[in-house]
Chain A
Amino acid sequence: MSYVGTIGEKEVKIGVQEAGVGRYRVTIDGQEHMVDACQVMSTVWSVLYGTTSFEVDVQGKDEEFEVLISGDCYKFTLMNEQRKALMRAGGKGSVGKAMLTSPMPGKVVKLLVAEGEEVKADQGVIVVEAMKMENELKTAVTGKVKEIFVKEGEIVESGAKLLLVE
């Protein structure tokens, strides 16, 4: 299988092949790596790179990865080559998504904008409280507040839709 990774500004091509039970041949831009990997606890992998042992915690949703190794966090995106090609063909549609979702479970303390209001990228639009801390969430895009899905005082789950900017 082939994948395309984006690390910072750089794009890399990654190939994965199974090479025995729990063993994989992984190429990164043509350079070959042999690893032994097994998933030991929900998101945690035990990886033998050659004979060097790593505990690797792979987190993240969809194509956005956050990987922890020895306290260091590696952030990058990784997706199937075909998907990547499809996305490119699809153009801008998926870029600049305007749906703001709650990054954690909590309580909506305050709405800072109303439906129909013009907002700028990076503007604080809603305050969500979790664990005694108030967190101001910002919109990623400039546009008009199309719809607000929550009310002040409402308890929201992680990932809950908060508001839509177009």
Chain B
Amino acid sequence: MFKKILIANRGEIAIRVVRACREMGIRSVAVFSEADRRALHVRYSDEAHFIGPSPASESYLVIDKIIDVARKSDAEAIHPGYGFLAENPRFADRCEKEKIKLIGPSAYAMRTMGSKTLARKTVQAAGVPVVPGTVEPIASEEEVLRVAREIGFPVMLKATAGGGGKGLRLVREEEELRSSLRMAKSEAKSAFSDDSVYVEKYIENPRHVEIQILGDGHGNYVHLFERECSIQRRHQKVIEESPSVIVTPAMRAAMGKVAIEAARAVKYEGAGTCEFLVDRNRNFFFLEMNTRLQVEHPVTERVTGVDIVKEQILVAAGEKLSIRQDNVSQAGHAIECRIYAEDPDRNFFPCPGLITSLRTPGGPGVRDDSGVYEGFEIPIYYDPIISKLVAWGKDRTEAIARMKRALTEYVVTGVKTTIPFHIRVMNNRHFIEGNFDTDFIDKVFFKEEQERELKHGDVAVITAAIQLFLGERKRAMAQKSVEGEGQVSMWKYSTRPGIRKLG
């Protein structure tokens, strides 16, 4: 087993990995930028190394700097977390060259799954259902038209090198095809300097369901069932749960099986996730494979009892998976809410800043993977995630009730957070019924929210009025003491409960 692991990441995910290391008796090495000297991952780890200026492109993303720290600190392995260098095959190549074990799949697996067309081709050959469409980039307009007719409208044109919604065009009818193709190509050209596109059947109102898999270097694979990730805003997951209300036992077994086949096709090692789109008739289609630890992995950990990060470390050290398919099962229901420093009442505007007070939830069935503390200033340079709150219950109803309870216990002041948004989702009828797709937040939820009547306006106004009243009185008293008997001890007012910290 490794003696020391470098964690090439920051925030909550770096802390998650440090926790696994500590439980396994492995020393952890953190890296930090200028903005992160006071960050929690630096305080949690056994060693910490400075790697440069605040922008990630000058610190967390610089391969040379990470490798340099690994050498200096004698770390035998690097855990990349998610984001930053986690799915960068060049980083994987470099680690291999330096004989430092990267905790994750091979550069070959990353490259194959990182290319949309190559991934499609590879998994299709392994018998995994994919969204009907082309595997190769399409050369001519005529060819696009032929394929589109064959698979039937609506179709989606996608940039081969795509990402972030660029070079993406929905075509509902044949007449729109030519002009959409031209636009998709020119967008792809300017965004990725590669104008090749491919065409896929457009799945209307899909749900996003993914399968967690684990593989070791000895040919063993297990899947850890599904996660439902359809609650998204602007195509980013915000709430995940396991199990999914739409997945039947037969479907679960089938999805698990094909996910393992996809992994086997690239000799996948470590933790990975196959994402699927599920249509209204419960047909599922491979979307992509994420070759890293997912943000939402705690949901699976909570229902299966498997520590995914420890399994990653185990197989990276050359050992076998500690579990077999026939001894894992799903127990109860888990939900995760991603808590961001964003203002849900202003279109999720980012809100970096100082956390002036913090109270985290506790009690039965609650897990809080946080990356902050009271007095910490959330930097402007990185993802504004504060924490991932996970609630577990014996069934979905209890999990939702627990999540709602835990969210109302969670207090973060100084910055706006998405906690209020999550409470509202937990109260939404469609969410409670399990009736939603990937458009739910943007198209249904916000509309319903606008029509909902708020109940405690009086209490809100009363409290604000009391705050104003006490603020004014405090100022008046301070004035009086200056005019009157001269200096009053600064401790006089500060010790009275109820009027502290005002004004």
Contacts and interface: CB of A to CB of B under 8 A. Distances in A.
Interface of A: 1, 3, 5, 7, 12, 14, 16, 21-22, 24, 26, 28, 33, 35, 37-39, 41-45, 47, 49, 54-60, 65-76, 78-80, 103-107, 129-133, 135, 158
B250 interface: no
Secondary structure at the A interface, as helix, strand, loop or mixed, is strand
A12 B382 contact: no
Given A26-B466, A72-B454, A39 B500 contact: yes
Contacts of A44: 357, 411, 413
A72 B456 contact: yes
A71 B500 CA distance: 25
Contacts of B469: 1, 3, 16, 24
B351 interface: yes
Nearest to A68: B420
A38 B285 CA distance: 55
Nearest to B427: A71
Contact of B459 (A14, A69, A105): A69
A161 to B, nearest CB: 18
Given A3-B465, A33-B458, 6 more contacts: A16-B465, A16-B469, A41-B413, A43-B414, A45-B463, A56-B460
Interface in B416-455: 416, 419-424, 427, 454-455
Contacts of B190: none
A111 to B, nearest CB: 19
A71 B463 contact: no
Contacts of A43: 356-357, 413-414
B466 A16 contact: yes
A47 B500 CA distance: 16
A74 B460 contact: yes
Nearest to A17: B469
B413 A42 contact: yes
Contact of A106 (B380, B427, B464): B380
Nearest to A77: B464
Interface in B193-242: none
Contact of B501 (A22, A39, A57, A73): A39
B462 A104 contact: no
B137 interface: no
Contact of A80 (B472, B501, B502): B472
B463 A56 contact: yes
Nearest to B345: A73
Contacts of A69: 456, 459-460
B457 interface: yes
A9 B316 CA distance: 63
A70 B411 CA distance: 11
B238 to A, nearest CB: 14
Contacts of B357: 41-44
B486 interface: no
Contacts of B454: 72, 74
Interface string B152-180: 00000000000000000000000000000
A76 B463 contact: no
A135 B349 contact: yes
Nearest to B404: A71
Contacts of B472: 1, 80
Contact of A28 (B344, B461, B499): B461
A45 B470 CA distance: 13
Given A39-B500, A41-B359, A26 B456 contact: no
Interface string B354-384: 0011010000000000000000000011111
